[in-house]
Amino acid sequence: MIPSNLVRRLRATWYPDEYHGWGRTRRYFEGWYFKAVSPDERHAMAFIPGISMDENGRQHAFVQVMDGKACRAQYHRFPADDFRPAARCFEVAVGNNTFSQEKISLDLPGISGEISFQNTSPWPKMLGAPGIMGWYSFVPFMECFHGIVSLHHTLEGKLKIGKEEIDFSNGKGYIEKDWGRSFPRAYVWMQTNHFDAHDRASLMASVAHIPWLGSYFIGFISGFWLDGRLFRFATYTGARKFLVISDEHVELIFKNPKTELRLLAKQAPGTALKSPISGEMTGKINESLQAEVQAELLENDRRIFEGTGRNAGLEVAGQVEILV
């Protein structure tokens, strides 16, 4: 008989949003990233629930909370037994907090309430490509896996943060996740779905150092979602990339045979967050939710989108010179 944990892990390969760590006991992490921006854009929050297992098997659950406007973060630590993932759907409880594709419910020191998600936009599945990583989703030895739960959705609900009650209704949200052993040695990541030119547009782009069979390569994945249509740019699509990083800007260009995506991100004040190293949350990264990203999308040499994204998430982490 095949062990049930193996069956669950194999099934989760086709459902990137679900928990993948069944039966794992060491050198493993998994976390989800919920971004929520209020309709007046005065509040940009990120909520990151997850599980951490170090190389000696010590485990704990966590909920990390980031206030992108105030540049503050809190790391709430829980016993590992307080981490309760569902077996056949995306739903995770950490203590009295619950997270799913439909809503989040929070009961943390200094923050409580519930936000539901309307009209979520999952990354579409394709034959041989269950998620944003394409066929790399089936490679068992990857250092870090990535998934997109919803590229764009509308928020409904309120949170009490400190003494203030904040209404997030009609705001915008985004959900992604990571799992594996460690974040990449070096990477650039950016995300926004607050474009001045279009109300239903969303961008996610990442370039990273990927260990591979004793060596490494520079991999990249990007999706530009425009009113229900998704434009993919990735190592596995045969796309090409051009990257320039300075103290003030990150310039990225992706090219497929018929499409091209040009990005110019302006760096902004950020917040220190914990990140995984060999499963243990001992790393540190700096993430901004105040960056701006100028985006231009071309199809058959014709510009079909041009705009500036606000409230953008931006991370430039590690020895990024190897990415260039």
- List the pLDDT tens digit at each of the 324 positions of the chain: 467 899 999 999 999 999 999 999 999 999 999 999 999 999 999 999 999 999 999 999 999 999 999 999 999 999 999 999 999 999 999 999 999 999 999 999 999 999 999 999 999 988 889 999 999 999 988 999 999 999 999 999 999 999 999 999 999 999 999 999 999 999 999 999 999 989 999 999 999 999 999 999 999 999 999 999 999 999 999 999 999 999 999 999 999 999 999 999 999 999 999 999 999 999 999 999 999 999 999 999 999 999 999 999 999 999 999 998
Distant-in-sequence, close-in-space partners of 103: CB < 8 Å, separation ≥ 6: 114, 115, 116, 117, 157
The count of structural domains within the chain is 1
Range of the domain at 252: 4-322
Q: Which residue has the tokens 């782009």?
A: 205
DSSP-derived secondary structure letter, 123: P
| CA angle at 323 for the pair 141 and 276, rounded to the nearest 5° | 45
Q: How far apart are CA 103 and CA 116, in angstroms?
A: 4
- What distances in angstroms separate CA 127 from CA 14, 46, 124, 131, 222, one per listed residue? 10, 32, 10, 10, 19
Distance of alpha carbon 301 from the chain centroid: 30
CB 203 within 8 A of CB 254: no
Q: How far apart are CA 218 and CA 93, in angstroms?
A: 35
